[in-house]
């Protein structure tokens, strides 16, 4: 059996990668477990130096890796280059900040000396998605490996070449054998890896259904898990917003990565007083986006990553229109042989409409109209998801007040929701639990051990 790497821009087969046999999987698990003690004992300064080298390897192969990302999942190449650079910056961030994050925390108590030491858990399995095939991996791997853990990657089956390339980054940077391995296994074999005694924790970025399965298996075996699942992020435009700024960022937020981002502006909630003007300007911005060959640096909209994802998106759009949403522009397949979908806007999205309740993972924007600020907050929180959200207003105090009322893991005022290595990232409700990035992300996969000395 093989994983097929297919170019979604034209449907052509790029490569077939063999799935691991039982023996090959056993070898990878053994190598990770065997590497653990020596890697844990490696001085932190040496682990950080190697992570700096990983950043250098990423930059040294940036054009090659970006082209691989674009060919394998359709991301416009200029965005793919930015993703590789962000991955390198993430490696550098943890190489620089790791010593401070892992330093003993001395605490006054009834002991002569008491402290908290942060020690690695062991081997961490990461189940990662295709939409940011490098960044999603490095934002787990950089903190986990600097902390002294070993890492196993089960990547999405449609990006096998990216998975293997990431393993070569660590190998070329000089990481010891077994410290990081990519597992060429099907999703059906993930539970068995989580159950293996040589695996100590698991992190997943993916669908809600996949998160439930991983959490159930990890919980049954009393292993730490972190989940970053779907999102239906609100983008609230208040009546005093700078409309030019709000429109520009709404276009960028919704259509970055061809709309295939967990933290995209999935629900654009606009106060009635300015809704018509916002929609007119937003339509102009959306229709100006250039779709085409993702290897062309001027392309802003590429194909969806897979044909089945395009079909599912169209089903949601058609169903939403039947239920009362208004098709403002787009809302159909693009012509040609690739997995392209028209940039689209649905207006008058209301409760009971598919686009109101479900996450639309593609280049479709949903406009929801609110009576006022209070109604906008109510609508924003009327979802099972809670990943991110943004507020647009010229009154920063007002923006902060609204942001504090949003039920989500991160809220931005007059800025795009984004993942930044310096800030913790993650969700609540059905968007998952735990945090990635910053100090909190590193501490998810360490043992915060109390040491008390009299």
Q: Would you please indicate which residues are annotated as catalytic (active-site) residues?
A: 228, 262
DSSP string, 110-143: SSSEEEEEEEE-SEEEEE--SSSTTHHHHHHHHH
Specify the pairing of strand 224-228 against strand 234-237: unpaired
Q: Would you call 314 helix, strand, or coil by DSSP? A: helix
Contacts by residues 184-191 (CB-CB < 8 Å, ≥ 24 positions apart): 184/3, 184/17, 184/18, 184/19, 184/20, 184/24, 184/160, 185/19, 185/20, 185/25, 185/154, 186/1, 186/19, 186/157, 187/154, 187/157, 189/25, 190/125, 190/127, 190/154, 190/214, 190/217, 191/217
Residue 79: both structure tokens together: 């965005």
Angle of helix 135-146 relative to helix 160-173, nearest 10 degrees, comes to 30
Q: Would you call 379 helix, strand, or coil by DSSP? A: helix
Residue among 6, 9, 5 at smallest CA distance from 337:
9
Residue 274: both structure tokens together: 């300015």
Specify the pairing of strand 446-453 against strand 364-370: unpaired
Place of tokens 């929701």: 417
How far, CA to CA in Å, does 64 sit from each of 164, 171, 295? 13, 17, 12
Residue 210: both structure tokens together: 């996949």
């Amino acid at each position: 059996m093989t994983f097929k790497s297919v170019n979604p821009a034209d449907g052509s087969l790029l490569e077939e990668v063999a799935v691991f046999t039982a023996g090959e999987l056993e070898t990878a698990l053994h190598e990770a477990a065997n590497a653990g003690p020596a890697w844990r004992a490696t001085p932190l300064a040496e682990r950080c130096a190697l992570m700096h080298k990983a950043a250098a390897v990423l930059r040294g192969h940036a054009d090659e890796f970006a082209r691989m990302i674009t060919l394998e999942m359709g991301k416009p190449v200029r965005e793919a280059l930015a993703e590789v650079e962000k991955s390198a910056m993430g490696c550098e961030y943890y190489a620089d900040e790791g010593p401070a994050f892992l330093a003993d925390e001395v605490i006054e108590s009834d002991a002569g000396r008491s402290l908290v030491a942060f020690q690695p858990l062991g081997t961490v399995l990461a189940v990662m998605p295709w939409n940011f095939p490098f960044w999603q991996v490095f934002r787990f791997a950089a903190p986990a490996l600097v902390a002294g853990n070993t890492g196993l990657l089960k990547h999405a089956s449609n990006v096998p070449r990216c998975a293997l390339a990431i393993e070569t980054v660590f190998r070329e940077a000089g990481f010891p054998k077994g410290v990081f391995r990519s597992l060429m296994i099907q999703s059906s074999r993930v539970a068995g890896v989580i159950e293996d005694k040589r695996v100590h924790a698991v992190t997943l970025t993916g669908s809600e259904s996949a998160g439930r399965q991983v959490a159930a298996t990890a919980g049954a075996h009393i292993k730490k898990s972190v989940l970053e699942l779907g999102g239906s992020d609100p983008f609230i435009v208040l009546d005093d917003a700078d409309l030019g700024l709000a429109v520009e960022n709404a276009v960028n937020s919704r259509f970055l990565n061809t709309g295939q981002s967990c933290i995209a502006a999935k629900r654009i909630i606009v106060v009635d007083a300015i809704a018509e003007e916002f929609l007119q300007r937003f339509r102009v911005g959306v229709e100006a986006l250039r779709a085409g060959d993702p290897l062309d640096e001027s392309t802003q909209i590429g194909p969806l990553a897979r044909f089945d994802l395009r079909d599912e998106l169209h089903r949601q759009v058609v169903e939403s229109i039947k239920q009362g949403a208004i098709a403002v522009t787009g809302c159909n397949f693009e012509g040609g042989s690739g997995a392209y979908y028209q940039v689209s806007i649905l207006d008058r999205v209301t409760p009971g409409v598919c686009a109101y309740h479900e996450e639309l993972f593609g280049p479709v924007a949903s406009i929801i109209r609110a009576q006022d600020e209070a109604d906008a907050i109510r609508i924003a929180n009327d979802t099972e998801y809670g990943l991110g959200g943004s507020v647009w207003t010229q009154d920063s105090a007002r923006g902060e007040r609204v942001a504090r009322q949003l039920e989500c893991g991160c809220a931005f005022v007059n800025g795009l929701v984004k993942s930044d290595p310096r800030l913790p990232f993650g969700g609540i409700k059905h968007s998952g639990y735990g945090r990635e990035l910053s100090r909190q992300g590193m501490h998810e996969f360490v043992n915060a051990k109390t040491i008390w000395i009299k």
